[in-house]
Amino acid sequence: MRLRPPTGRRLINLAVSLWAGASALVGLVILFWILYVVISRGLGALNLDFFTQLPTPPGIMGGGLANAIVGTLVLTVGATVVAVPVGLLAGIYLAEFSEDSKAGDYSRFSVNVLMGMPSIIVGVFAYTLVVVPLGHFSGYAGALALAILMLPVITRTTEDMLRLVPNTLRESALALGAPRWKVTLGIVFRAAKGGLITGILLAVARVSGETAPLLFTALNSPYWFGSLGEPTPNLTVTIFNYAMSPYPDWQQKAWGASLLITLGVLLLTVMARFWLRERKA
């Protein structure tokens, strides 16, 4: 009786195993390659001026991207302020009230579709909705586009996280006579806090690196951030413009901005994951 598979089959198995290991290695190599390039090229661009000065016209050395850093923060915060309450409430409906509801099913389906919608399409939408009627590019349009991108992410994670909260908790609170809204906001939310924060962090991470929806909504600007009613400077569109420019100084700045964005986004993502793991453990 042969206990081991014949050699040929073992060889195929070995080859496939090696191939699988190599594939995983390819994924890791790409990640570290990108990180290495961004860090090594970006570090040189970061100095005090980068964080405090306005950009200079081409040909003049120095200057920084302080305005774009501020602008990106403002756009992200603006989008978050709009998307978080709506997303949380929508998630509550899907998790708590949508039993056997057709509207709930359709809404859940739309959440998934909207999550996969290309961000540039959302940009075009914000353009036709806000930029065209107003007649000029504006930060409002950019923040709206980002908010639309955040909405499904927050809704989905809120629903998932609320569903994890055991029903006994709801029942005991209701049995004490607490109204439903108080049960949800005071008891269920508290139990799901970690997960909800994770969802919000992931959504913020997702949009803070977005470029496509800002290209023709917030546009960009070489001046300080004034109001959301005008073109708003931001890091990602600056990277795009500077990278495509022929000036080495600008390209260097683009790498600096890339480093900043990458670090910010990865940090948020890792933080969110860490939070989630703490919770699950």
Partner 1 sequence: MPPSAFTVAKGRRVKTSPGGDQTFRWLTFLCSLLVPLVMLAIGLELLRSSWPAVRQFGWRFFFSQEWNPVLQEFGAASSIFGTLASTLIAMFIAVPLSLAIALFLVELAPPRTSRIVGTLIELLAAVPSIIYGMWGLFVFAPFMAKYVQPLLGNTLGFLPLFQGPPMGIGMLTAGIILAFMVLPFVSAITRDVFQLVPPVVKESAFGMGATTWEVTYKVTIPYGLVGIIGAGFLGLGRALGETMAVTFVIGNAHRISTSLFAPGNTIASTLANEFSEATEPLYIGSLVALGLVLYLITYLVQVVSQTLLRRMYRAWSVGL
Site for partner 1 in 93-122 (CB under 8 A): 93-94, 96-98, 103-104, 106-107, 109-114, 116-122
Does residue 153 touch partner 1 according to CB under 8 A? no
Tokens matching residue 100: 């056997």
- Per CB under 8 A, does 13 bind partner 1? yes
> Minimum Å distance from CB 245 to partner 1?
12
DSSP string for 87-117 = HHHHHHIIIII-TT-HHHHHHHHHHHHHHHS
46 binds partner 1 (CB under 8 A): no
- Are 105 and 173 in contact by the 8 Å Cβ rule? The answer is no
Integer Cα distance of 252 and 232 in angstroms:
22
Amino acid at 258: S
Stretch that binds partner 1, among 71-79, 160-168, 193-201, 205-213 (CB under 8 A): 205-213
What is the helix (H) or strand (E) element at residue 11, kind and residue range? Answer: helix 7-43
Question: Which of 243, 245, 249, 279 is the binder for partner 1 (CB under 8 A)?
Answer: 243
In the complex with partner 1, the residue whose CB is nearer, 60 or 186, is 186
Closest distance between partner 1 and the C-beta of residue 214, in Å? 10
Amino acid (1-letter code) at residue 226: G
141 lies in the binding site for partner 1 (CB under 8 A):
no
Instruction: Identify residues 214-233 at the interface with partner 1 (CB under 8 A).
Output: 215-216, 219
Residue 173 CB, nearest approach to partner 1 (Å): 10
Determine, following the binding rule CB under 8 A, whether residue 78 of this chain makes contact with partner 1: no
Shortest spacing between CB 213 and partner 1, in angstroms: 9
Tokens of 268: 């948020």
CA distances from 219 to 64, 72, 97, 131, 182 (A): 18, 12, 40, 11, 43
Sketch the per residue contact string, 155 through 194, with partner 1: x for CB under 8 A, - otherwise. x------------------x--xxxxx--x----------
Stretch binding partner 1 (CB under 8 A), from 44-52, 60-68, 212-220, 222-230: 212-220
User: Quick one: 74 or 239, whose CB is closer to partner 1?
Assistant: 239
134 forms part of the interface with partner 1 (CB under 8 A): no
Of the listed pieces 48-56, 73-81, 191-199, 203-211, which binds partner 1 according to CB under 8 A? Answer: 203-211
* Sign of the CA dihedral running 36, 246, 216, 85: positive
Residues that contact partner 1, how many (by CB under 8 A):
93
Burial of 41 (0-12, 13-18, 19+ CB in 10 A): middle
Using CA atoms, how far residue 191 sits from 102, 121, 273, in Å, is 28, 36, 18
d(CA 266, CA 271): 8
